[in-house]
């Protein structure tokens, strides 16, 4: 989401967050991805980097969803 799409005074998506509970589907797909990664011919360093990038991507997606939900809730009530 671009900054021009949503402007919430005092809200910083990098610092303001909620704890997100994982669904069964999320846990199961994470397990499947982990099993698949274990079978790849990666060095320990490559594996660690891949997992780190996946975690960063998941967190970015969560922040995007959070910002979108807050924006939708705010604009719906206006």
Instruction: Please give the tally of structural domains in the chain.
Output: 1
In a domain, 70, yes or no: yes
List of long-range contacts for 5-9, beta carbons under 8 Å, 24+ apart: 5/71, 6/67, 6/68, 6/70, 6/71, 8/67, 8/70, 8/71, 8/74
CA dist., res. 70 & res. 18, Å (int): 11
pLDDT in tens, the chain (78 residues): 434 344 445 556 566 556 668 899 999 999 999 999 999 999 999 999 999 999 999 989 988 888 888 888 887 765
In a domain, 77, yes or no: yes
User: Other C-beta atoms within 10 Å of 59: how many?
Assistant: 12
In a domain, 26, yes or no: no
Q: What is the pTM of this model?
A: 0.63
Q: Which domain holds residue 75?
A: 44-78
């Amino acid at each position: 989401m671009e900054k021009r799409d949503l402007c919430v005074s005092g809200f910083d998506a990098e610092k303001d967050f909620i704890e997100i509970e994982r669904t069964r589907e999320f846990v199961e797909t994470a397990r499947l991805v982990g099993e698949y990664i274990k079978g790849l011919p990666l060095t320990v360093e490559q594996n660690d980097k891949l997992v780190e990038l996946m975690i960063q991507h998941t967190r970015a997606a969560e922040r995007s969803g959070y910002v979108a939900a807050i924006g939708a809730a705010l604009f719906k009530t206006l």
